[in-house]
Amino acid sequence: MPPYVSQHSMPALPLSRSVDAIKESVDRLERFLPEREDSAVLLDFLEDDLREGLDAVADVEAHFTDVLDVLRSGRPTPIRLLEAAEDFRVLNRLEYLMVVVAQLRKRLAQSAAKLRGEPPTAIR
């Protein structure tokens, strides 16, 4: 682990509470959708997207916290600033977050269609 990485990089407790909120929210949506196998598959994907999205957001937040820690901890050194700047993991997580958000939009649109009683569509 690079020297500038703080303990704040670990997932925070509120995320674990959010994970419980994810399950509760998906279960609540399930009560309103038709009882079909494609609804169950859709809900599984939706739950996964929510969990993965929150994980990516937590990683991005941890990066910003690490940068703040570097800037607040005594006199910044060039190497510590460059190490913070060259953490490309955050860029990968942001790209991944864009994919997850697009998938989440699709799943929510499919759920909305099911709530309206439209014919089933393929879930991917």
Higher pLDDT pick, 124 / 50: 50
Torsion from C-alpha of 61, 65, 68, 74, nearest 10 degrees: -170
The pTM score is 0.76
Task: Give 123's contacts (C-beta < 8 A, 6+ positions apart).
Answer: 38, 41, 42, 45, 110
What span, in angstroms and rounded, lies between the C-alpha atoms of 124 and 111? 13
pLDDT, tens digit, for every residue of 12-71?
445 555 668 999 999 999 999 999 999 999 999 999 999 999 999 999 999 999 999 999
What span, in angstroms and rounded, lies between the C-alpha atoms of 35 and 38? 9
Going 24 to 28 to 31 to 34, the CA torsion angle's sign is negative
Q: Which two tokens stand for residue 69?
A: 């820690």
pLDDT value, residue 4: 41
Name the percent of the chain lying above pLDDT 70. 79
pLDDT classification of 6: cutoffs 50, 70, 90: very low
- Alpha carbon of residue 82 to chain centroid: 27
